[in-house]
Structure 1
Amino acid sequence: MIIRCLVLIAFLCSSGVAAAQGPNTPRPEEIKEFHECLRKGGLVFNDRVQCIGKVFEHCAMKLQDQTSMGMRECYSRETALWEKMILNSEKELRRNENKPTKTALVEAGRNWKAFRNNTCNIPYAMNPKGTLAPVLGMECYNRLTALWALQLSEFATPLGN
């Protein structure tokens, strides 16, 4: 149930409906910071990994109160950017690759989503009534989404081609 809520939140963050500057929609300055960090990282995976959490940090610094709701919104904003990166990479991979690669991409995506959702449900299982569990769950969801986005991006543009 909780994972479904996380997936719904993430979906709404990246949907056209959310583009009306809702609380989970990345702000222009956050989008700029995200892309600038990735640009600075260049083609080096480990440098690009350093971008994970940058949008969250930028957002969290502007929160008037450090509530768990506000922190979850900040993670949702960043996750929306990583999910858009995933969609762009998947589109590029599907366009340029052969049928076996496309099949492998679909299978890997399915397995990755199951892994992410199961893994990020652990904080809820550990503390189902706590207010920290949703924050830890969203942090996990964001981190694993970011790592998958970076990996797919690397596959989509090997050696910067």
Structure 2
Amino acid sequence: MRSFRTILILSAWALAAPTLAQEADRPASPAKDSAAIEACLKGKETSAQRRACIGSVAGPCRETQDGATTMGMSACIGREHAIWDKLLNRTYQQAMVGFDDDGKAYLKGAQQSWLKFRSQTCQWPYHVYRGGTLAGPLSSECFMEQTALRTFDLMTIVENGDH
């Protein structure tokens, strides 16, 4: 009877182990990811200093077992891109507040041009790696980096009151 209990207990652990491993590898919440980037940006005043924050969520995520796959890489990059996109939109709205109507129209046009630039710039992997699995993560990483860089540009506008 004792060995039957041991077998049951070991079987339960064997069945639970993958679930427990998934729990450990589960991505941080968007709030934690956002807090990590905000903490990284704190005290950094220039775009050059802020560049060090790009990859602060995606990098550690990609170092996990799940992040090492093509799909995992894209998911890690997507997590961070979502944060930069929110920061970009928030900073864009802050920049718009300080402009008169002409300045707002100019910034809106510049932002629309930048969106086209980012899209064209980040589509290159699909032309280079036609059908290859690397195209997705490379394109996603480009979108993430370009979004972060544009956020830094807008932060500079807001902080310097250049409008």
Query: Shorter-chain TM-score: which interval?
Result: 0.7 to 0.9
Regions of 4+ moved over 6 Å = none
| Matching residue's letter, 1:154 | T
What is the Cα deviation at residue 157 of structure 1?
Answer: 1.7
Root-mean-square deviation (CA), in Å? 2.0
Q: For residues 58 and 150 of structure 1, what CA distance do their matches in structure 2 show?
A: 22
Structure 1 pair 94–65 and aligned structure 2 pair: CA distance change class (3 A): closer
Alignment-derived partner of residue 59 in structure 1:
61
- Residues 89-104 of structure 1 correspond to what in structure 2 (within 5 A)? 89-104=91-106
Alignment-derived partner of residue 85 in structure 2:
83
1:33 aligns with 2:40: no
| Matching residue's letter, 1:156 | V
- Preserved CA contact (<8 Å) 2:67 2:76: no
Q: For residues 140 and 97 of structure 2, what CA distance do their matches in structure 1 show?
A: 31
Alignment-derived partner of residue 154 in structure 1:
156
Q: For residues 126 and 151 of structure 2, what CA distance do their matches in structure 1 show?
A: 24
What is the Cα deviation at residue 67 of structure 1?
Answer: 0.8
- Preserved CA contact (<8 Å) 1:24 1:73: no
1:142 aligns with 2:123: no
Q: For residues 81 and 49 of structure 1, what CA distance do their matches in structure 2 show?
A: 15
- Preserved CA contact (<8 Å) 1:55 1:78: yes
Alignment-derived partner of residue 13 in structure 1:
none
Percent sequence identity over aligned pairs? 29
Q: For residues 62 and 108 of structure 2, what CA distance do their matches in structure 1 show?
A: 34
| Structure index of larger Rg | 2
What is the Cα deviation at residue 44 of structure 1?
Answer: 2.1
Bigger mean CA offset, 48-57 vs 63-72: 63-72
What is the Cα deviation at residue 27 of structure 1?
Answer: 3.2
Alpha-carbon deviations, 1:56-107, whole Å to 9, x = none?
A: 1122233435111111111111111111111111111222211111011111
- Residues 67-78 of structure 1 correspond to what in structure 2 (within 5 A)? 67-78=69-80
